[in-house]
Amino acid sequence: MTDRRLASVGTAAESRLPSRYLTPMDLVAMFRLPSVETVYQWRRKRTGPRAFRVGRHLRFDPVDVRAWVDAQRKEVAV
């Protein structure tokens, strides 16, 4: 029973992220950042979540964003 509950918690957490690729404005809204320039600075400094370009547009995979958030949490805990 406990294993099933843990599995459902993980699934619920993953379902909170959209199933589509995220835009820089999505990250601004999700993390309540001051501006989209923060996202671009993360990209230039290579400190933010992994991103890729579709033409001239920057996109983020929700799985990569989740991995980045988890890594940030681990750094804070240490």
Name the residue type at position 7: A
Residue 4 predicted with pLDDT over 50:
no
For 9, list phi and psi in degrees, rounded to 5. Answer: -65, -45
pLDDT digits (tens, 9 = 90+) for 64-74: 999 999 999 98
pLDDT recorded at residue 36 = 97
pLDDT recorded at residue 16 = 74
pLDDT digits (tens, 9 = 90+) for 7-62: 333 444 455 777 899 999 999 999 999 999 999 999 999 999 999 999 999 999 99
Q: Where are the alpha helices (DSSP H) in 1-78?
A: 2-15, 24-31, 36-45, 62-77
| pTM for this model (two decimals) | 0.74
Q: Of 68, 67, 50, which is closest to residue 59 (Cα–Cα)?
A: 50
